[in-house]
Amino acid sequence: MQVVRIEDFSAEQVLSAADARSRFDVALIFSTKYQPQSSFFDRGRAWQEWKTRYFGYHVDVAPEAAASILGGSVVYVERRRGQWVGIVELAKIEEARLRTSAVF
């Protein structure tokens, strides 16, 4: 089984995986951190920038958005208590050929 690894499921990372989509057929995507309901602090831009700078904060794209970026469809998703997991099946374009044999 070939695995294509990305750091997280931010839009930037999912877009980089989309460039390598010929190397995989299925994507297992999941939230990389617990995401509680938004709080008062989450509204401030300075707070967001501070979390990004010092703690690597990012926003994971939802399974449906990841499927759209990757050119596939969500075949499984489950959400529980601020976290989620999803499986995306990629649509593959395969070349079909008709072979004819000359039998006389």
Left, alpha or beta for 71 (phi > 0: left; psi -120 to 50: alpha)? left
Average pLDDT over residues 18-29: 91
Residue 90 three-state SS: strand
Q: pLDDT digit string (tens) for 56-81?
A: 778 889 999 999 999 999 999 999 98
With 0.75 as the threshold, say if the pTM is over it. no
CA distance 100 to 104: 12
Q: How many C-beta neighbours within 10 Å does residue 38 have? A: 8
Q: Where are the alpha helices (DSSP H) in the chain?
A: 11-19, 45-55, 63-70
